[in-house]
Amino acid sequence: MAESGTRSVVPSERIEQAILVLRDQKVMLDTDLAALYGVETRILVRAVSRHLDRFPVDFMFQLDAEEFERLRSHFGISNGRGGRRYAPYAFTEQGVAMLSSVLNSPRAVQVNIEIMRAFVRLRALMASHADLALRLDALEAKYDEQFAGVFAAIRQLTSPPPAPTRKLGFRAGREQS
C-alpha cells in the first residue's frame, strides 16, 4: 500500500531490487525504468534524447564498455545478437525524478512517487547501518578488553560469511579408506 492510502502501482520490493550502485551512486537502468513505467526501453530513451538538456551528467550517464560488460556477465544481459546494441543509461535519483516530466502520463507520475519513496527508504536504511556502526565503535572504545571478545563476535556475526576455501564433492582417482 502506498502511504496515501491508495494501492501502489508497483511493489516497492521490485523498485528496491532495481536500484544499483554504479560510480558510487545509487542508480536505476533504463531497462528497469521502462519496465516499471510500462513502456519499451527504446521509447524511454527516445523521450530522454529529445530532452537531453534536462539530464545533466549528475542526473543520467551512459555506462562505459567495462561497466556494460560487468553488467552483461553479472545479470545475463544479451550479448548483442538480437538484444541491446548500446550500453544502457543509468539514472540517478534526480534523473528518475526528471523522467516524470518527460514521460507525461498518469502511470509515470505514480511510478515516480513510488521510486522516490524507495530511494528515501534506502537512504534511511543506509543511515541506520552507519549509525549502528558508529555506536558499536563508540561502545568498543568505551569499554576495556573484557568486552573485546563480545565486540569481535558481534563484528563476525555482522560481516558476510567467508567464501568456501575448498571444493565440495567426490574426487575421482583417489583411494578412499
Q: Is the same domain home to 100 and 61?
A: yes
Which pLDDT score is estimated for 118?
A: 82
Q: In this model, does residue 161 exceed pLDDT 80?
A: no
What are the grid coordinates assigned to 107, written together?
502511470
Domain count, the chain: 2
Q: Is the same domain home to 121 and 135?
A: no
Q: Is there a contact between 60 and 52 (Cβ–Cβ < 8 Å)?
A: no
Q: Is there a contact between 60 and 92 (Cβ–Cβ < 8 Å)?
A: yes
Per-residue confidence band for 3, with pLDDT thresholds at 50, 70 and 90: very low
- Reference 75, options 31, 130, 25, 122; nearest CA is 31
Q: Is the same domain home to 92 and 78?
A: yes
Which pLDDT score is estimated for 42?
A: 92
70 falls within a domain = yes
Range of lowest pLDDT (55-64, 91-100, 113-122, 168-177): 168-177
Q: Is the same domain home to 134 and 119?
A: no
Helix, strand, coil % in the chain, rounded to nearest 5 = 55, 10, 35
Q: In this model, does residue 5 exceed pLDDT 90?
A: no
Q: Is the same domain home to 120 and 95?
A: yes
65 falls within a domain = yes
Q: Is the same domain home to 148 and 98?
A: no
What are the grid coordinates assigned to 117, written together?
519513496
Which pLDDT score is estimated for 33?
A: 92
Q: In this model, does residue 177 exceed pLDDT 80?
A: no
Main-chain phi, psi angles of 20, to 5 degrees: -115, 165
Which pLDDT score is estimated for 55?
A: 93
Q: For the residues 73-94, what does the mean pLDDT come to?
A: 73
Instruction: Name, in order, each residue with C-beta under 8 angstroms of 54's C-beta and a sequence gap of 6 or more.
Output: 98, 101, 102
- Between 4 and 104, name the one with better pLDDT: 104
Which pLDDT score is estimated for 89?
A: 95
- Reference 42, options 30, 52, 60, 50; nearest CA is 30
What is residue 79's three-state secondary structure?
coil
90 falls within a domain = yes
Q: Is the same domain home to 86 and 56?
A: yes
| DSSP tag of 20 | E
Domain span holding position 45? 12-128
Q: Is the same domain home to 134 and 122?
A: no
56 falls within a domain = yes
175 falls within a domain = no
Q: Is the same domain home to 79 and 137?
A: no
Q: In this model, does residue 76 exceed pLDDT 50?
A: yes
18 falls within a domain = yes
CATH number of the domain enclosing 46: 3.10.260
Q: In this model, does residue 1 exceed pLDDT 50?
A: no
Which pLDDT score is estimated for 121?
A: 80
165 falls within a domain = no
Average pLDDT, the chain: 78
How many other CB atoms are found less than 10 A from the CB of residue 97?
15
